[in-house]
Amino acid sequence: MRLDVVSIFPDYLAPLRLSLIGRAVEDGLIQLNVHDLRRWTTDRHRTVDDSPYGGGAGMLMRPEPWGAALDDVLGEADQSPGTAGPPRVVVPTPSGTPFTQRLAHELAAEPWLVFACGRYEGLDQRVIDAAGERARVTEVSLGDYVLGGGEVAVLAIVEAVARLLPGVIGNAESLVHESHTDGLLEGPAYTKPPSWRGREVPPVLLSGNHAQIARWRRDQSLRRTADRRPDLVAALPPGTLDGRDLEVLAERGWTVGDAAEGEARLVRLDW
């Protein structure tokens, strides 16, 4: 996979040369190109920002350096083996579509990703619109908070995507589990020693009874999901839940609602 990142702080992307991703870059599984946006400025002060039309607080990124940068980077299509077509362009922004494990898998199937890191209040919309006529552009959000720029979001997205590439994780089994637990949070996990500072590992995990262990883990996942992520519980298809699942969820106030119209769904009775 080829990755290009355009940023006014290219050093921010240095962690991509470390650890798991660094190894994949060294091994040639990932071709990583980090570009300084200011290379495409033409004025004495290498300006990348300006004030927004219509007024308002903060600054925006001027379109000209971005236009020139994307012309050059997207123009390299024919020179890279395996990247004959246009890349997928990813623009991190709090107003983007949510980044999920599903989107990580989708991006991992692309041969070429280009990341555009905004700073200040983001990019002039015409940069996104113009790039959209030459490539598939996806504005992506990591969550409902505001970072100083897109760089840290790119680190997170690249880490989530790279570990899905064949050969990046030695142990392919660690990826299998993830698809199994679809839609529920992982519950608590324990390792040795069995007793630590007066705290015991739940005895069921030491029992050797695999059916009982699986049931206990599912109970823990359901409870944790109900406590922390009611949105995920509401999205569970009731048809995939057994009687014990419903019992555990009922402890947290969830029940299968009236299927008068459409599909049956979980609802929370709050009083």
Q: For binding to ligand JF5 (CB under 6 A), which residues are involved?
A: 92-94, 118, 121-122, 141-143, 145-147, 149-150, 153
Q: Are 88 and 112 in contact (CB under 8 A)?
A: yes
Least distance in angstroms from the C-beta of 253 to ligand JF5: 31
The alpha carbon of residue 225 and the mean position of all alpha carbons in its chain are separated, in whole angstroms, by: 19
Can you give the length of the chain in residues? Answer: 271
Q: Are 141 and 154 in contact (CB under 8 A)?
A: no
**Ranges of H-type helices in 44-124:** 63-74, 101-108
Torsion region of 155: left, alpha or beta (phi above 0 gives left; psi -120 to 50 gives alpha) = alpha
Q: Per the structure block, which two tokens stand in for 92?
A: 């991190």
Q: Which is nearer to ligand JF5, 93 or 221 (CB)?
A: 93
Q: Which is nearer to ligand JF5, 22 or 94 (CB)?
A: 94
Helices 19-26 and 151-162: crossing angle in degrees, nearest 10, is: 70
Least distance in angstroms from the C-beta of 146 to ligand JF5: 5
Q: Using CA atoms, how far apart are residues 71 and 73, in angstroms rounded to an integer?
A: 6
Q: Which is nearer to ligand JF5, 63 or 94 (CB)?
A: 94
Least distance in angstroms from the C-beta of 124 to ligand JF5: 12
Least distance in angstroms from the C-beta of 9 to ligand JF5: 12
Q: Which is nearer to ligand JF5, 86 or 94 (CB)?
A: 94
Least distance in angstroms from the C-beta of 69 to ligand JF5: 16
Least distance in angstroms from the C-beta of 147 to ligand JF5: 3
Q: Using CA atoms, how far apart are residues 79 and 25, in angstroms rounded to an integer?
A: 19
Q: Per the structure block, which two tokens stand in for 207?
A: 């029992």
Q: Using CA atoms, how far apart are residues 141 and 17, in angstroms rounded to an integer?
A: 24
Q: Which is nearer to ligand JF5, 88 or 217 (CB)?
A: 88
Q: Which is nearer to ligand JF5, 87 or 150 (CB)?
A: 150
